[in-house]
């Protein structure tokens, strides 16, 4: 099943039976059977009734609402939640266990470093003109990986893992920027708001991937707000943030491909004060191509969440 993207102003969403009906200015524009979709992403002004919300929840269709000109996540609706309360209690016990948290975080950082090294190495074979920058970044990440892998798990600290990840991320983005033309003004990661086209595309990609991770947590009976690497923070799904860390480079590689193949270009974006915003044409292209990226990542996120859930099941009295 796929994703329904609704990105139009003044759209009204009604339902007839188990179909979503889309109206503009009172005129019916289309009908979508719910059995064909697994999630709905809405951006812009849209009107929908509590009946539509209830139907989505009953059918287990996730809803992500992106608000404002910058398209940040403002609401997530899930269907019926997993009923195993004991699993969540065990998850909270794991969070309170420093040894488990460090072991989880260490494995997560190792996976992220390995993924970043692999991407930069592969990119170097496709872009020999950027080989030095990519090689230097990959070498620094490889060094961090080897150092952490050789270190006994029981000697690790979360603060040290954060430091290793931060230094590796700086090296990674220093190399990653070399893949893009100077005209895009991409000089490193920035957000809230993104200031260039590449960061605008990365931010939207990460937002959608985070939504997939929240769905995977709920499907596995996990509390997405209680992670083991990311510290709890107000209104942040820390476990979902944990799960997407090793997959971020998949989004990066895909965004690079969008620009390299000219599906996205400078004309797909506009400037508003200090923010760079993807325009409607750019978003249409982005959403159309996103499914090719998302399908394998959804499977991986479900697998990651189930690994955690099965471990928690062994902890349940």
pLDDT of the residue at 263: 92
Task: List the domain range (segments joined by +) for residue 104.
Answer: 85-313
Domain count, the chain: 2
Indicate the pLDDT class of residue 225, thresholds 50, 70 and 90: very high
- 286, 175: one domain: yes
Q: Are residue 179 and residue 258 in the same domain, yes or no?
A: yes
- State both tokens at 95: 């969070």
Q: What is the pLDDT of residue 50?
A: 79
**Banded model confidence at residue 57, pLDDT cuts 50, 70, 90:** confident
Residue 136's pLDDT is: 93
Q: Are residues 89 and 181 both part of a single domain?
A: yes
Same-domain pairing of 15 and 118: no
Q: What is the pTM of this model?
A: 0.84
Residues 262 and 224 in one domain: yes
pLDDT of residue 30 exceeding 90? no
Single residue among 29, 56, 77 that ends a domain in this structure: 77
The domain boundary residue, chosen from 42, 77, 112: 77
Reference 278, options 291, 265, 289, 288; nearest CA is 265
pLDDT in tens, 288-313: 898 888 889 999 999 999 988 888 77
Question: Does 66 lie in the same domain as 10?
Answer: yes
Is pLDDT at 79 greater than 80 in this prediction?
no
Tell whether 72 and 101 lie within a shared domain: no
Same domain, 93 and 129: yes
**Final residue before a domain boundary, out of 22, 45, 77:** 77
Euclidean distance between CA atoms 242 and 227, whole angstroms: 6
CATH number at residue 43: 3.100.10.20
Q: Tell me, yes or no, whether 227 and 182 share the same domain.
A: yes
Report the pLDDT value the prediction gives residue 47, as an integer from 0 to 100: 81
């Amino acid at each position: 099943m796929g994703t329904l993207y609704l990105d139009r102003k003044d759209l009204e969403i009604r339902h007839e039976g188990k179909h979503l009906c889309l109206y503009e200015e009172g005129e019916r524009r289309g009908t979508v059977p719910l059995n064909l979709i697994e999630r709905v992403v809405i951006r812009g002004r849209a009107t929908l009734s509590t009946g539509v919300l209830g139907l989505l929840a009953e059918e287990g269709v996730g809803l992500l609402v992106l608000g404002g000109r910058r398209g940040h996540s403002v609401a997530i609706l899930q269907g019926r939640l997993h009923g195993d309360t004991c699993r969540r209690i065990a998850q909270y016990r794991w969070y309170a266990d420093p040894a488990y948290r460090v072991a989880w975080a260490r494995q997560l950082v190792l996976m992220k470093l390995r993924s970043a090294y692999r991407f930069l190495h592969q990119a170097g074979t496709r872009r020999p003109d950027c080989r030095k920058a990519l090689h230097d970044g990959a070498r620094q990440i490889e060094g961090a990986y080897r150092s952490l892998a050789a270190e006994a798990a029981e000697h690790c600290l979360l603060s040290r893992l954060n430091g290793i990840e931060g230094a590796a991320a700086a090296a990674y983005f220093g190399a990653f920027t070399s893949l893009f033309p100077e005209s895009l003004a991409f000089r490193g990661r920035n957000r809230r708001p993104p200031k260039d086209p590449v960061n605008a595309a990365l931010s939207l990609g990460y937002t959608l991937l985070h939504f997939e991770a929240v769905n995977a947590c709920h499907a596995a009976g996990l509390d997405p707000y209680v992670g083991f690497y990311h510290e709890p923070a107000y209104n942040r799904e820390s476990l979902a943030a944990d799960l997407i860390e090793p997959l971020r480079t998949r989004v990066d590689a895909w965004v690079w491909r969008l620009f390299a193949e000219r599906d996205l270009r400078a004309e797909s974006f506009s400037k508003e004060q200090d923010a760079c915003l993807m325009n409607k044409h750019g978003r249409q292209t982005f959403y159309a191509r996103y499914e090719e990226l998302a399908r394998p990542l959804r499977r991986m996120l479900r697998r990651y969440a189930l690994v955690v859930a099965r471990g928690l099941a062994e902890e349940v009295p």
